[in-house]
Structure 1
Amino acid sequence: MMFFRLALMALGLVLGYSGGQILALSGPPETAAINTVSLMLAGALSALLLAPRAEKFALRWAERFRTWYERLAPTTVAAATFGLIVALLLSVLLTSLLRGLPFYSWLLSVAVTAILAAFFMTYAVRNADAFGALSFAQVRRKPGGKILDSNVIIDGRIVALAQTGFLDGDLIVPAFILRELQTLSDNADANKRTRGKRGLSVLEELRELRPLRIEDWDDPHLPTTDDKLIRLARETGAKLLTNDTNLAKVAKLHGLDILSIHEAAVALRPQLQAGDTLTVTISKGGQQQGQGVGYLEDGTMVVVEEGLKLRGKPAHVVVVNNVQTNVGRMIFAKLDREQP
Structure 2
Amino acid sequence: MDGGKEVKVLIVRGLLILACSVSGYAIAYYSFPSHGILGSLIGLVLGCLTALFVIKMEQAIRKVSLRVIFGGVVGMIVGLLIAFLFAYGLNFITDIKEKYQIAPWIYAIWTSVMGYLGLVLGSKKVEELFNLFGHGQSKENKDYRILDTSTIIDGRLADICDTGFLEGTLIVPRFVLDELQYIADSSDSMKRSRGRRGLDILNRMQKSAGITIEIVDQDFPRIKSVDAKLVALAKKMNGKIITNDFNLNKVAELQGIRILNVNELANALKPVVLPGEVMTVKIIKEGKEAGQGVAYLDDGTMIIVDNAQRHQGATVEALVTSVLQTTAGRMIFSELKDIVNDKKSFGSDARQ
TM-score (norm 2): 0.64
Runs of 5+ unmatched residues, structure 1: 24-38
2:23 & 2:142 partners in 1: Cα distance?
A: 59
The verdict on how the C-alpha distance between 1:269 and 1:203 changes in structure 2, with shifts beyond 3 A counting, is: same
State the SS of the aligned residue for 1:81: helix
Q: Which string of whole-angstrom CA distances, capped at 9 and with x for unpartnered residues, describes residues 48-70 of structure 1?
A: xx89xx87x77765653332122
Residue 229 of structure 1, CA deviation: 4.2
Residue 84 (structure 1) aligned to one of 76, 83, 86 = 76
2:61 & 2:300 partners in 1: Cα distance?
A: 47
**What is the one-letter code of the residue matched to 2:196?**
K
Match of 2:202? 203
**What is the one-letter code of the residue matched to 1:154?**
I
Q: Which string of whole-angstrom CA distances, capped at 9 and with x for unpartnered residues, describes residues 226-255 of structure 1?
A: 332454465xxxx76544565599579869
Match of 2:28? 15
RMSD: 4.7
State the SS of the aligned residue for 2:212: strand
Contact 1:145–1:172 (CA<8 Å) still a contact in 2?
no
> Percent sequence identity over matched residues?
24
The verdict on how the C-alpha distance between 1:84 and 1:5 changes in structure 2, with shifts beyond 3 A counting, is: closer
Q: How does 1:317-328 map to 2 (within 5 A)?
A: 317-328=318-329
1:94 & 1:215 partners in 2: Cα distance?
A: 45
**What is the one-letter code of the residue matched to 2:301?**
T
Contact 1:148–1:171 (CA<8 Å) still a contact in 2?
no
1:117 & 1:3 partners in 2: Cα distance?
A: 27
Is 2:270 aligned against 1:269? yes
Q: How does 1:181-260 map to 2 (within 5 A)?
A: 181-210=180-209, 212-221=211-220, 223=223, 224-229=229-234, 231-232=236-237, 234=239, 241-244=242-245, 246-247=248-249, 250=252, 260=261
**What is the one-letter code of the residue matched to 1:108?**
I
Q: How does 1:50-65 map to 2 (within 5 A)?
A: 63-65=55-57
1:254 & 1:132 partners in 2: Cα distance?
A: 26
1:17 & 1:68 partners in 2: Cα distance?
A: 34
Match of 2:165? 166
The verdict on how the C-alpha distance between 1:281 and 1:63 changes in structure 2, with shifts beyond 3 A counting, is: farther
State the SS of the aligned residue for 1:219: coil
Query: How many residues are paired up?
Result: 309
1:43 & 1:112 partners in 2: Cα distance?
A: 33
The verdict on how the C-alpha distance between 1:6 and 1:212 changes in structure 2, with shifts beyond 3 A counting, is: same
The verdict on how the C-alpha distance between 1:89 and 1:214 changes in structure 2, with shifts beyond 3 A counting, is: same
1:314 & 1:338 partners in 2: Cα distance?
A: 16
2:127 & 2:39 partners in 1: Cα distance?
A: 50
1:312 & 1:159 partners in 2: Cα distance?
A: 36
State the SS of the aligned residue for 1:278: strand
Contact 1:172–1:215 (CA<8 Å) still a contact in 2?
yes
Residue 71 of structure 1, CA deviation: 0.6
Is 2:74 aligned against 1:74? no
1:64 & 1:210 partners in 2: Cα distance?
A: 39
1:311 & 1:128 partners in 2: Cα distance?
A: 71
Contact 2:285–2:312 (CA<8 Å) still a contact in 1?
yes
2:252 & 2:15 partners in 1: Cα distance?
A: 54
TM-score (norm 1): 0.66
Stretch moving more, 247-256 or 63-72? 247-256
